[in-house]
Amino acid sequence: MSTGGDPQALRARLAEVTRLGQAGDLAPAREQARAAFRDAIAADEAEVAVEAGLACYALDLKLGDHVAMLEDGALLKPRLQALPARRREYGDLLRRIVISACELARFDVALAHANEACESARLHPDDRELALSLTALGACFERMGDAWQGERLMNEAYAAAQRVDEPYVRMVVLNNLCAVCIGRFHRLREVDETDARASIERAIAHALAAQAMLPLMPDPLFAVFVDGNLGEALLYAGLLDEAAAMLHDALARSRKGGYHAQTWRIACSIAELELALGHPEQALAELEALLDTVAAAEQRATLIRLHQAIYRAARTLGENERALAALEAYERLERERATRQLRAQSELFVTRAETERVRQEALAARERAQRFRDEARRDALTGLSNRRELQEQLPAQLLVAATQLRPVSLAVVDLDHFKRINDRHGHALGDRVLVAIARLLRGGLRQADVLARVGGEEFVVVLFDTSPELAHEVLERLRHCVDEHDWAELAPGLAVTLSIGLAHAPSYELDPLFERADRALYRAKAEGRNRLVVDAPA
C-alpha cells in the first residue's frame, strides 16, 4: 500500500525495511525499499529519498541483482551528488555501479564511473577513496579481459590502502586483488602454466590476508565474498580438501544470507571441484542446472565461466556435441565482451581526452589561485611572510606551545632612522637595504624560526623552543651582524642599525606578546637606538 508523500509514513516503511533485512528477508525488504524510494522521489522528499535509495541499493547488492543496481543507482546518483557532505557515500555508489556494469558487460558505463570515482579521489585528496576507486577501475579492466592492467591498478590501490587506518579498505582491496589474480589464472591456465600458477599463489596470499580482517567486519556478506574467492583459489592450486571445506561452508552461508550472485559463483566453483575430483557427470549436471538462472540474471562473468567449465566437463565425458555447444557459447560471449571492451575504450579515449584538457585547465586555475593566495601572504619586496600570514598561522602555533609549556620569544625589529636613509639615498636604495636586512636576519635564524616583515621597516622574529637567555643571545648576534655589515657597498657613508624589543612567553597570545615586544622596542629607541631591550612579563 502506497504511503504517498507522507514523510512520517515513509520513514515507518524504512524502519520495516531494516527489520526485514535484519531478519534475512531480503527480497521483501528490497521491494519495500524500492517502493519507498520511488514514492519519496515523487513527493520531492529529498532526505528520505536518499535514505531509501541507499537501503534499496544495499539490498540490490546483497541479492546480486545488477540490473536493479544500475536502475536504482541512476536514480540515486544525482541525489547523492547534490550532497557534498556525503561525498564518500557518493564514491561508494560510483564504485558499485562499476561492478554491476562490469557484470552486465556494460563497460562503457563501468569505465566512465570508475574514472569519475578516481578523478574525484584525486581532486579531493583522500587515500581511502583513491584506494577503493583504483580497485574498482582495476576490477573493470580485469572483467574486460586485461587482468595485467587490473592487477597493476589494484597494487596501486593497496599502496594507498596501507596509508589508511581502516581495515575495511585493506580487506576490500586484498579481496579484489585475489579476484583479479584468479581472473588472470583463467586467462593463462592453458597458455602459460608457470604464470598461471604464480597468479593463483598470489590470489591465495591476498585472500588469507583479507580473511584475517574479517572479524572486524560487521556484514557477513564480506566473509562470503572472501571465503568464496579463497576456496576457488585453493581449488585451482590443487588443494582440493581445503577448497571443499571452504567452498561448502561459504555456500551454506551465502544461501542462508540470500546472496544470490555469490551463491551462483560458489556453486560453479563446487561443480568445478567435482570435476577436479573425477566426478564429471555430477559436475556437468550441477553446471547446467545453473545456466538458465544465471543467464536470466545477466551475470555475464559467471555465465562465461559456466560455459567454459561445461565445455571441459563434457569433453572429459566424451560428449562432443555438448562440449562444442558450450565452447561456441563461451566464444560468443567472449567476442561480445571483447567488442564491448573495444567500443567502451574507444569512446572513453575521446571523452578522456576532452576531460584531460578540462582537468588541466582546472589544475592551472587552482595553481593560479594558490599562487595568488601565497602572494597575499608574502611580502612582495623581501619574500618574507607578511602581517596577514603571521596573524593566520602564529596563534595556532602559540596554542600548541602553550599546552606543552614550551618556551617562546617574540621580537619586534625596527631599522633606525630609515626615513633618513630614504631621504638621503632614495627609495630604490632603501628597498635594497630592506632586502639585505631580510637576508641577514634569515641567515642568522633556524629554518623553523618565524621571520616576517610587518611594516615599512619593521620585522618580527619568533623563536620557539629557545630559552630566554639563548633568544637574547640570538637577537644580539643579529643586531651586531647588521651593525657590522659593509653598507658602504650600497652607498658611500651608509650605516644601518637595528633597535629590537624582545618579550618572552607567557603570555602565549599573539597580541599581548606583540604589545610587550613593541613596548620594549619603544624603550630601545628612547634609550639611544641600536640596542636590544627585554620586556619582563607583567
What pLDDT is attached to residue 393?
84
Cell of 120: 574525484
Q: How many CB atoms lie within 10 A of CB 278?
A: 9
Cβ proximity of 16 and 32 under 8 Å? yes
pLDDT greater at residue 345 or residue 414: 414
In 33-97, the DSSP E strands lie at: none
Determine the Cα–Cα distance for residues 189 and 244; give it in Å rounded to an integer: 21
Q: In the predicted model, is pLDDT for residue 499 greater than 90?
A: yes
Cell of 144: 574486460
What pLDDT is attached to residue 457?
93
Nearest alpha-carbon partner for 21 in 289, 307, 219, 180: 219
Nearest alpha-carbon partner for 140 in 415, 354, 337: 337
Q: Phi and psi of 410, rounded to 5°?
A: -125, 130
**What's the whole-number mean pLDDT along residues 282-288?**
91
pLDDT in tens, 435-460: 999 999 999 998 889 999 998 899 99
What pLDDT is attached to residue 389?
86
pLDDT in tens, 256-280: 888 888 898 899 999 999 999 999 9
End-to-end CA distance of the chain: 76
Whether 356 is a known active-site residue: answer no
Nearest alpha-carbon partner for 311 in 302, 322, 295: 322
Catalytic residue among 16, 389, 457, 527: 457
Determine the Cα–Cα distance for residues 479 and 205; give it in Å rounded to an integer: 65
What pLDDT is attached to residue 345?
60
What is the 3-state composition of the chain as percent helix, strand, coil, each rounded to the nearest 5? Answer: 75, 5, 20
Element (H, E) at 392: helix 387-403
The 3-state DSSP class for residue 415 equals: strand
pLDDT greater at residue 58 or residue 487: 487
What proportion of the chain, given as a percentage, has pLDDT over 90?
Answer: 38
Q: Which CA distances in Å does 528 have to 185, 333, 499, 519, 520? A: 85, 93, 9, 15, 13
What pLDDT is attached to residue 538?
53
Cell of 375: 602572494
Confidence at 373, pLDDT banded by 50, 70, 90: low
**What's the whole-number mean pLDDT along residues 67-90?**
85
Q: In the predicted model, is pLDDT for residue 363 greater than 60?
A: no
What pLDDT is attached to residue 513?
93
The 3-state DSSP class for residue 457 equals: coil
Per DSSP, helices labelled H in 162-192 are: 167-188
pLDDT in tens, 120-153: 887 777 888 889 988 888 888 888 778 888 888 8
Average pLDDT over the chain reads 86
Determine the Cα–Cα distance for residues 14 and 518; give it in Å rounded to an integer: 65
Cβ proximity of 96 and 104 under 8 Å? no
Determine the Cα–Cα distance for residues 287 and 299; give it in Å rounded to an integer: 14
Q: In the predicted model, is pLDDT for residue 161 greater than 50?
A: yes
Q: In the predicted model, is pLDDT for residue 406 greater than 50?
A: yes
Buried b (16+ CB within 10 A) or exposed e, 93-127: bbbbbbbbbbbbbbbbbbbbbbbbbbebbeeeebb
Confidence at 368, pLDDT banded by 50, 70, 90: low
Cell numbers 587552482 label which residue? Answer: 366
Helix axes 240-257, 260-276, angle to 10 degrees: 160
**What's the whole-number mean pLDDT along residues 422-433?**
92
Nearest alpha-carbon partner for 72 in 36, 122, 107, 106: 36
pLDDT in tens, 34-74: 888 888 888 888 888 888 888 887 888 778 788 888 888 88
DSSP 287-341: HHHHHHHHHHTT-HHHHHHHHHHHHHHHHHTT-HHHHHHHHHHHHHHHHHHHHHH
**What's the whole-number mean pLDDT along residues 471-475?**
95
pLDDT in tens, 196-229: 899 999 999 999 999 999 998 888 888 999 999 9
What pLDDT is attached to residue 42?
83
Q: Which CA distances in Å does 521 have to 130, 414, 500, 524? A: 53, 8, 5, 5
Determine the Cα–Cα distance for residues 459 and 384; give it in Å rounded to an integer: 9
pLDDT greater at residue 487 or residue 10: 487
pLDDT greater at residue 187 or residue 497: 497
Q: In the predicted model, is pLDDT for residue 372 greater than 60?
A: no
